[in-house]
Amino acid sequence: MSVIDRIANKERTAFSFELLPPLKGKGLESVFKTIDALREFDPQYINITTHRSELIYRENAQGLFERVSERHRPGTVAVAAAIQHKYGIPVVPHILCSGFTREETEYVLIDLQFLGITDLFLLRGDKAKHEKTYIPTGNVHATDLQQQVNDFNRGFFAAGIPMTDIGEKFSYGMACYPEKHEEAPNMESDLYWAKQKVDNGA
């Protein structure tokens, strides 16, 4: 049963939680400890955030500082799988436009489908401070990401190549902004894009 169906069939208030993957180099103990403390609230699902790489300056062997790309909180897919396996609670990993190419997004979708994780939350995410635009080979808007997931559900890879085995389809939620997105010129424009998301499957 999808998370959407679980919420629709719930006769009382349904709780969910959002967790961050542990920092790079840390284990899952803190994640499991948090879930153990919150299980009494009967969460209907658990969101797991996704974090893009950031540019940092690191000193090299010659004593010079070089700019490198590092992801501080990797492991969203693995954390989602570990939680669902250990607790049997549905998980909803976040999928971002920002910081990911369409090919990288496709690989994430394939991994999640193999793991039987088919509930997603699609987001644009924020540009890195040094970026003027999003990755040229990535999705620019959440609706672009939505289109990629819809194409995947219909049996097409990002390059337009048809799949031989479609597999279980994804269901997903997306963000909307009751007080208007900060980049929207007006409320009418914001509502238009919210409706586009709903009309296309959110």
Q: Is the pLDDT of residue 144 over 90?
A: yes
- What domain range is 147 assigned to? 3-199
Q: Is the pLDDT of residue 130 over 70?
A: no
Q: What is the mean pLDDT of residues 138-161?
A: 95
- Which segment, 5-19, 37-51, 120-134, is predicted with the most confidence on average? 37-51
pLDDT score of 139: 92
Q: Is the pLDDT of residue 96 over 80?
A: yes
Q: Total domain count for the chain?
A: 1
Query: How does pLDDT run across 13-72, given as a tens digit for each residue?
Result: 889 999 999 999 999 999 999 999 999 999 999 999 999 887 778 888 888 888 877 888
Phi and psi, residue 182, nearest 5°: -60, -25
- Helix (H) or strand (E) holding 58, with range, is strand 54-59
β-strand 65-70 against 54-59: which pairing, if any? antiparallel
166: CATH: 3.20.20.220
